[in-house]
């Protein structure tokens, strides 16, 4: 019996914005669309219904034009404190590539916000190890884009 590849990461950073603004950037699809994904990626589809049982569907578009769809369901939404959701990476035909779960917490740090992203994913396809290897860089770049968005707010 083979073991499926799995990776867990935790990223904690201090965001130079009040918690309410940071939480809003995670729950408002119009804001999320501007920062989600690695540098150079856009999100032509960004549906994000941040409520327990609400769904998410994002299509990230790479600079080369390749699309990377994902979907999920919100498990927990506690205003200004926590978001938990499944995140399922799909191929363009809708087949599951990775199954993941993410929890994001928000805490006051003076006038700034301590943001912690805990995420993990399990690969279901041969290409999964390479995808999992890129998780840390992808999330780091996304959060750098979030910082830039909030700096302009």
Tens digits of per-residue pLDDT, 95-151?
999 999 999 999 999 999 999 999 999 999 999 999 999 999 999 999 999 999 999
Domains and CATH numbers, the chain: 6-151 (3.30.530.20)
- The pLDDT assigned to 2 comes to 61
Mean predicted confidence (pLDDT) in 62-88: 97
Q: Which two tokens stand for residue 46?
A: 């960004």
b/e sequence 34-45, b meaning 16+ C-beta within 10 Å: bbbbbeebebee
Tens digits of per-residue pLDDT, 31-44?
999 999 999 999 99
Tens digits of per-residue pLDDT, 88-108?
999 999 999 999 999 999 999
3-state secondary structure of 126: coil
What Cα–Cα distance (Å) separates residue 83 from each residue in 33, 46, 52, 79? 17, 17, 9, 8
Torsion of CA 123, 124, 125, 129, to 10 degrees: 10
Whether residue 113 contacts residue 17, with contact meaning beta carbons closer than 8 Å, is answered with yes
Look at the pTM and tell me if it is higher than 0.75: yes
- Taking the C-alpha atoms of residue 18 and residue 85, their distance in angstroms, rounded to an integer, is 23
DSSP 50-70: -STT-EEEEEEE-TTS-EEEE
DSSP 133: H
């Amino acid at each position: 019996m083979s073991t499926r590849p799995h990776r867990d990461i935790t990223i904690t950073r201090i965001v130079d914005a009040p918690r309410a603004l940071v939480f809003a950037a995670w729950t408002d699809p119009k804001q999320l669309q501007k920062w989600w994904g690695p540098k150079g990626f856009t999100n032509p589809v960004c549906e994000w219904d941040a409520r327990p049982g609400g769904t998410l569907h994002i299509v990230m578009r790479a600079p080369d034009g390749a699309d990377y769809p994902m979907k999920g369901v919100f498990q927990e939404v506690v205003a200004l404190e926590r978001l938990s959701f499944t995140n399922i990476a799909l191929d363009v035909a809708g087949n599951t590539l990775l199954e993941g779960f993410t929890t994001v917490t928000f805490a006051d740090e003076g006038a700034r916000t301590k943001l912690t992203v805990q995420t993990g994913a399990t690969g279901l396809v041969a290409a999964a190890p390479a995808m999992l290897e890129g998780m840390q860089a992808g999330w780091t770049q996304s959060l750098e884009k979030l910082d830039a968005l909030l700096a302009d707010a």
